[in-house]
Structure 1
Amino acid sequence: MTAEKAPRLKLRIGTRGSPLALVQARQVAADIERHSGGEIAGEIITFTSTGDKLTTERLINSGGKGLFTREIDEAVDDGRCDLAVHSLKDVPGEIPAGQELVAFPEREDPRDGFITVSGIKSLKDLPEGATVGTASLRRESQTLARRPDLNIVTFRGNVQTRLKKLEDGLADATYLAMSGLERLGMAHLASPVPIEDMIPAAGQGIITIAARPDDLDNDIVALLRKLDHADSRKAAIAERAFLVELDGSCRTAMGGHARLEDGVWKFDGEVLRPDGSERWAEKGTAQADASEADLAALGRSAGQRIRAAAGGDLPAFEDD
């Protein structure tokens, strides 16, 4: 008679139910199983967030940032889930008390991807008066800053929904994050936009694992921390410090991006007027061996200089 194998411990992973969110959660589950030597498995629990229910209107009309994480955060807080997997750019600057962003797996391509069905590869090549579909205030303002002649229409929904709207002719072009397209095996559909042309949203391309460490066994917390990628964490810290300094919300068009390049940490941040008519941008650098505190100071300093240049009050979109 053979001894029965002990059942594996399961960690309940909360995530949105979109195809991209599921890819991200499944990767985290696979990493947990690998790092635990197969002793721990992930059980994925899906949620339809408030943000997912908005298919036609802007986020600012329904409360702004946090709409894609709120229901999952609540499930972690009340014990229905042991951890959550979020796209970092969806996570507000202030997270629920008791929760921690315990790990940042390695970042994917942070750039925006420009997509058309006509074969046009760049915003500059769109005909005059063409229509661009996006629900991102940052992308809207950055587009108008480069091409004030273009028209903007609201594109909400997951990757597949937005691509279908483009195919249906509701716009001539749209943007999707290259990281999401890569994770879905769809990167060939887009032309990456250089970061100097469109600074990405803070956290774009990074996923994060949120949990309540005090509610988990120490060994589980240690396991989750093994999924952390040091440089991705430092970039996340810099970008979120920038976001918090400017009280970043879905009402302000802003981008912030940190990366280790040529042996130096480089940071680029900007805030734009809604119509793209004015832009405040700042850069900063730190040494390659900069601490997490140094990286936070790098992002925070850029935000402070932008606020001062803008006169203290940042331009914001109004509700429709």
Structure 2
Amino acid sequence: MTVIKVGTRNSKLAQTQTKQVLDQIQQFHPEITFELVPYTTKGDRLSHVSLQEIGGKGVFVKEIERALLDKEIDLAIHSLKDMPALLVEGCQIGAIPKREDARDCLIFHQKGMTLERLPKGACVGTSSLRRKVQLLKLRPDLEIRDLRGNIDTRVQKVLDGEYDAIVLAMAGLSRIGWLEDEALPIEVLDVSDCLPAISQGALAIECRQGDMNVLHLLKEVHDKETADEVTLEREVLALMQADCTFPLAALAQKTSSGYQLDAMLATADGTCVYARVSGEKTQNLASQVVEQLEKQGAFGIR
């Protein structure tokens, strides 16, 4: 029996979503045995420090990619939004499974609360610049405070009253089972109010470049529509040479006539600038949306 070693972050969410993907693969390849190899990444070790201070995108994947290149593991499963636009040399994304809900949501301390009903000056927890600027666009009176830690820790902090509300991704809550708790006070944020992070809700299965044995195992779980959408979003990331220090968002969606790409980047004073483009094919849509943002004075482009 073939044993495949799988790298994953040593967190409940990472291991849960990794096992969910491996279960899908095993439906097609019951002859394969998967062995999880957990890693505590720099981003996990420094969970009390802002991501902007410790290197931005890549801090959750670098150690795992090194293990992949050193052949300690055969593949790795990541949240795609944690991955830089340019992968380390020698690695490739072998498959992208079907995307979960890409939206953000608010979780409240008080039941029955909404973003609109939050009292003036309410404390909202998020360490994401993207979320911060979009929330302040809607409610400039809010106090935004940093929030790090795993999902369970963050949810417990708001339930304990350390924050009036926190912002989390729907995908993570779904995968870890929090959405099954009907008593959890949640408000889903429409993408017109809070455009999600690039690739939010999508996972990436990473392997060594050209490893045909592993690539063969992954083809059944690859979702072409998701891959087309997130590839387009990641083109925006690459064109902007951006990382998590940028208040950047993008969402590509397949439509009946082609593709729609929405993007947001804040100006130097924190104003949210939005752009939307569409076309029958994905080609040139990313460069068009970046050009629109640049014309409106968005921060950090070239």
Question: Under TM normalisation by the shorter chain, which class is it?
Answer: over 0.9
SS of 1:249's equivalent in the other structure is coil
The aligned counterpart of 2:197 is 201
The answer to whether structure 1 residue 58 and structure 2 residue 50 are counterparts is: yes
Give the corresponding residue for 2:266.
272
Q: CA deviation at 1:67?
A: 0.7
Aligned partner of 1:164 among 156, 159, 171: 156
Bigger mean CA deviation after superposition, 297-306 or 10-19: 297-306
Q: What whole-Å deviation, never above 9, does each CA across 1:166-219 have from its counterpart, x for those lacking one?
A: 1232210001110111111212433211010000000000001011133x3x24
Distance 1:312 1:171 in 2: 29
> Is the Cα–Cα contact under 8 Å of residues 96 and 221 in structure 2 kept in the other structure?
yes
Residue 318 of structure 1 is matched in structure 2 by: none
- Residue 81 in structure 1 maps to residue 77 in structure 2: no
**Residue 314 of structure 1: CA displacement?**
4.4
1:252 corresponds to which residue?
Answer: 246
My pick for the range that moved more, 261-270 or 76-85, is 261-270
Alignment partner of 1:99 out of 68, 86, 91? 91
Structure 1, unmatched stretches of 5+, are 1-7, 316-320
Q: Closer, same or farther in 2 for the Cα pair 1:223/1:59, shift >3 Å?
A: same
The sequence identity of aligned pairs, in percent, is 34
Q: Residue 274 of structure 1: CA displacement?
A: 6.8
Counterpart amino acid of 2:96?
Answer: F
Per-residue CA shift, 1:256-295, capped at 9, x if unaligned? Answer: 001123454211101014764x1221101122xx3xxxx2
Task: Give the Cα–Cα distance (whole angstroms) in 1 for the partners of residues 290 and 49 of structure 2.
Answer: 28
Which residue, out of 109, 115, 129, partners 2:121?
A: 129
Question: What's the CA shift for 1:54?
Answer: 2.4
Corresponding position: 1:17 with 2:10: yes
| Superposed displacement of residue 104, structure 1 | 0.5
Q: Which residue among 284, 291, 300 is the counterpart of 1:304?
A: 291
Partner of 1:283: 276
1:74-112 C-alpha deviation (Å, 9 max, x unpaired): 111111111110001100111101111111100000000
Please tell me whether the aligned partners of residues 32 and 42 of structure 1 are also in contact (alpha carbons under 8 angstroms). Answer: no
Letter of the aligned partner of 1:304 in structure 2?
Answer: E
* 1:246 to partner: Cα distance: 1.2
Write out aligned runs for 1:197-236 (5 A): 197-214=193-210, 216=211, 218-236=212-230
Looking at structure 2, the residues matched to 124 and 297 of structure 1 have their Cα atoms a distance apart, in angstroms, of: 38
* TM-score, normalised by the number of residues in structure 2: 0.93
Are 1:68 and 2:60 an aligned pair? yes
Structure 1-normalised TM-score? 0.88
Runs ≥4 in structure 1, deviation > 4 angstroms? none
Contact 1:114 1:191 in 2 (8 A): yes
Helix, strand or coil: the match of 2:286? helix
Alpha-carbon distance in 2 for matches of 1:258, 1:90: 17
Q: Which amino acid aligns with 2:107?
A: I
C-alpha displacement at 1:134, in angstroms?
0.6
How many Å separate the matches in 1 of 2:245 and 2:268? 9
Contact 1:253 1:274 in 2 (8 A): no
The total of aligned residue pairs comes to: 298
Q: Which runs of 5+ in 2 are unaligned?
A: none
Deviations 1:214-241 (A, max 9, x none): 3x3x243122122210100001111000
Q: Distance in 2 between matches of 1:85 and 1:148?
A: 37
- The amino acid of 2:214's aligned partner reads I
Q: How much has 1:32 moved relative to structure 2?
A: 2.1
Choose 1 or 2 for highest CA Rg: 1
Alpha-carbon spacing, 1:53–1:241, altered in 2? closer, same or farther (3 Å):
same
2:24 to 28, 31, 39: 31
Matched-pair contact (CA < 8 Å) for 1:56–1:156: yes
Q: Secondary structure at the match of 1:55?
A: coil
1:44 is matched with 36
Aligned-pair Cα RMSD in Å: 1.8
Answer whether contact 2:5 2:73 (CA < 8 A) is retained.
yes
